Amino acid sequence: MPDAPILGGSKKAKLDDVAFGAAFNRALVHESVRAELNARRQGTHATKTRGNVRGGGAKPWRQKGTGRARAGSSRSPIWTGGGTIFGPSPRHYTFKVNRKERRAALRSALSVHADRGSLAVFDPAAFDTPATRAAAKLLADWKSPHPPTPALVVLSDEQERVALSFRNLSRVSVLPAQMVGVADIIGAAAVICTQEALDALTARAKGDAARAAPEATGKGPA
């Protein structure tokens, strides 16, 4: 059974075999990360075509007899100040990733950190009062085989005050367990979390596996 060190002590936290002992699936992780990053794009980019640029209603000169090329509008894309051809327009970049695939990708990302020893648990009680210096020392004292930053701090919804101690640290991101994505986990060199957040991540990663067990016995989903 994999385990993770508890920072500030010599004990270790036991990790779930299903959530933290999965084989790395590169294709699923890549697909999930791409979907998450695409969903964060605003897609508000826009340019004006010749129909949107103001002016150009009158024909600049008559069709024949001037010796110049024919022109129907001064807002033609080949004119200075004209419209843009095939420019970007508002759109969304999201695409669907199946629920089971997302959970499998989450298990792969968590298992990578568990396997290389870059996942740790800490006690949030020491940060009931905001203490950025104590948070920096917690990361600095961690004897991890990998660099402690960029780090991802995962908390439960009830531990908002703990975030105040970590949010000002350089290259440290703080997220609630329900908002953590595969891209956040893969992009971090180290992940530290509270026991409550660890339990929430485990429940998310095991969602389909936990549902499949009662179905196999004929009892249906819980």
Are both 101 and 170 inside the same structural domain?
yes
- 222 part of a folded domain: no
Classify residue 35: in a domain, yes or no: no
The answer to whether residue 46 is domain-embedded is yes
Evaluate whether residue 148 is within a structural domain: yes
Look up the domain containing 187 and give its range: 3-29+97-216
Is 113 found in the same domain as 9? yes
Q: What is the number of other CB atoms lying within 10 angstroms of the CB of residue 25?
A: 17
- The residue among 76, 91, 106 that closes a domain is 91
For the chain, 222 residues long, give each residue's pLDDT as a single digit of tens: 788 989 887 788 999 999 999 999 999 999 999 999 999 999 999 999 999 999 999 999 999 999 999 999 999 999 999 999 999 999 999 999 999 999 999 999 999 999 999 999 999 988 989 999 999 999 998 887 777 789 999 999 899 899 999 999 999 999 999 999 999 999 999 999 999 999 999 999 998 444 544 433 344 333
Question: Are 126 and 203 contained in the same domain?
Answer: yes
Q: Last residue of some domain: 91, 108, 125?
A: 91
Give a yes or no: residue 34 inside a domain: no
Same domain, 115 and 179: yes
Same domain, 86 and 105: no
Q: Are residues 194 and 115 in the same domain?
A: yes
- Note whether 75 and 146 are same-domain residues: no
Residue 221 lies inside a defined structural domain of this protein: no
Bridge partners of 154, per DSSP, are 175, 193
**168 domain residue, yes or no:** yes
Same domain, 70 and 155: no
- Indicate if 52 and 129 belong to the same structural domain: no
**Could you tell me if residue 61 is inside a domain?**
yes
CATH of the domain at 105: 3.40.1370.10
My answer on whether 51 and 120 are in the same domain is: no
Number of domains composing the chain: 2
pTM metric for this prediction: 0.80
Query: Do 116 and 200 have their domain in common?
Result: yes
pLDDT the model gives residue 126 = 87
